[in-house]
Amino acid sequence: MLLALVGACIGSFLNVVLYRIPHGMSVNKPRRSFCPTCHSLIPWYLNLPIISWIMLRGKSACCHKPISPRYIIMELACCLMFGGIAFYFDYESFIAQLLIALWASGMLVILVMDWEYMILHPGVALATTGCGLAASVFAPMLVGSTTLQAWEGLLWGCVGILTGYVIFRVVATIGKLALGRHHYRFSEPKRWELHQVGENLDIELVVDGHSLRWTLIFADRRGSLILENAQVDQMPKSACTVQFTPTHVIVGDSSHSLEGFDVLSGTCCAVSAKHAAMGTGDAWIAMAIGAMCGWQGVVFSLVVGSYISILHALILRIRRGEPMPFGPALVLAAYFWILTGPQFLEWCLNLFS
């Protein structure tokens, strides 16, 4: 019961994290919560987890605008998750239960942030990894057998972190070589257009029916996008090379901020794009998984997460080349490993043997 109450409070804080980080704000400043619509400070008695949302009937007390149901969903989810962990791991100490719950809540933030914005804040991943590593000390059976000592749990947690990072960096490198290059050349100039799409204001370049999204091309700093023998309608100039960065367009020798344009368009004779097949944030997620679940959990999450992503792509009919977050699938697979992964793996081995 106590851990469930702590979970509700943690869920309230995670709502702050999920709102501020994607908007480029500090989690600590301002210290008090504020209305996302009119930015009025919220008094403590109207900021009680779960209770306040119900009492206010989902509307802000200051401007009477609707409050997203995600706030109460996150608080309820953390409340139930913390309480469930206390029940499921009742044989562990309170500190171990708390650390496991904090790791699980950090993974929940990663899931929601990657799903909604396709971003991952390194600070969130590192904090989650730290909680997982501490949990491996107080509950070493999570990263190995039940006979492990505390120092052995810490060692295997570090091995899991290293394994997660190395595996995902190798997969990302191979994926970039195999799937991360696009080159289209046309016999005659084709129209292109750059515009914002989606609720999260992603940027999309469309050339002769080919779509290239910013969240895919510039998932890491090594992404590049170049139009050859191109012209820009908004900048009358002879045909030249047009290069895009995450925030600017470089036409010939001049650079312009993308914020100054609602739409860019023109013609080009070729398009070249390079991008990572897997975002660098997935390696951070794998480190957090390895800290809690060990190297076996990392491998399991990669395999099962891949199947979850394939199913997700089939259901939503996501085409090749379209950006799709892999983080939520990894988190779900890691949750499954914590609950019953080793037993499920043993059942599969017995079934096929």
Dump pLDDT digits (tens) for 52-77: 889 888 888 888 888 889 899 999 99
Higher-pLDDT residue of 71, 252: 71
SS3 labels along 75-113: HHHHHHHHHHHHHHCCCCCHHHHHHHHHHHHHHHHHHHH
305-340 pLDDT, tens per residue? 999 988 988 887 776 656 678 899 999 999 999 988
Is residue 96 in a domain? Answer: no
Is residue 289 in a domain? Answer: yes
Is residue 19 in a domain? Answer: yes
Q: By residue range, what is the domain housing residue 308?
A: 103-176+281-353
Residue 303, pLDDT score:
92
Is residue 97 in a domain? Answer: no
- Residue 224 pairs in a beta bridge with 274
- Tell me: do 27 and 145 sit in the same domain: no
Residue 245 to residue 32: CA distance in whole angstroms: 36
- Tell me: do 229 and 146 sit in the same domain: no
Residue 242 to residue 229: CA distance in whole angstroms: 8
Is residue 94 in a domain? Answer: no
For the chain, what is the domain count?
3
Is residue 98 in a domain? Answer: no
Look at residues 241, 274, 307 and tell me which one is the last residue of a structural domain. Answer: 274
Over 80: is that where the pLDDT of 5 sits?
A: yes
Residue 108, pLDDT score:
96
DSSP letter at 60 equals -
Residue 246, pLDDT score:
86
Per DSSP, the three-state class of 49 is: coil
Higher-pLDDT residue of 130, 211: 130
- Tell me: do 306 and 253 sit in the same domain: no
- Tell me: do 126 and 190 sit in the same domain: no
- How many helices (H) and strands (E) the chain has is answered by 9, 8
- The gap from C-alpha 1 to its chain's centroid, in whole angstroms, comes to 30
Residue 163 to residue 56: CA distance in whole angstroms: 47
- Tell me: do 264 and 223 sit in the same domain: yes
Closest CA to 133 of 109, 170, 107, 159: 159
- Tell me: do 286 and 241 sit in the same domain: no
Residue in the structure block whose two tokens are 């979850």 = 308
Residues 6+ apart with CB under 8 A from 223: 217, 246, 273, 274, 275, 276
- Tell me: do 288 and 241 sit in the same domain: no
- Tell me: do 5 and 81 sit in the same domain: yes
* Mean of all residue pLDDT scores within the chain: 86
Mean pLDDT value of segment 140-148: 71
Is residue 132 in a domain? Answer: yes
- Tell me: do 110 and 130 sit in the same domain: yes
Closest CA to 344 of 316, 303, 310, 285: 303
In a 10 Å sphere around its CB, with 0-12 CB exposed, 13-18 middle and 19+ buried, how is residue 64 labelled? exposed
Is residue 225 in a domain? Answer: yes
Residue 201, pLDDT score:
65
Higher-pLDDT residue of 237, 269: 269
Residue 192, pLDDT score:
93
Residue 276, pLDDT score:
67
Higher-pLDDT residue of 151, 337: 337
163-215 pLDDT, tens per residue? 999 988 887 777 666 666 778 899 899 999 998 876 556 788 999 888 888 87
Residue 275, pLDDT score:
72
Look at residues 62, 88, 114 and tell me which one is the last residue of a structural domain. Answer: 88
- Tell me: do 80 and 158 sit in the same domain: no
- Tell me: do 166 and 190 sit in the same domain: no
Residue 320, pLDDT score:
62
Tokens of 222: 């090594």
Mean pLDDT value of segment 144-164: 83
- Tell me: do 1 and 70 sit in the same domain: yes
Look at residues 54, 88, 122 and tell me which one is the last residue of a structural domain. Answer: 88
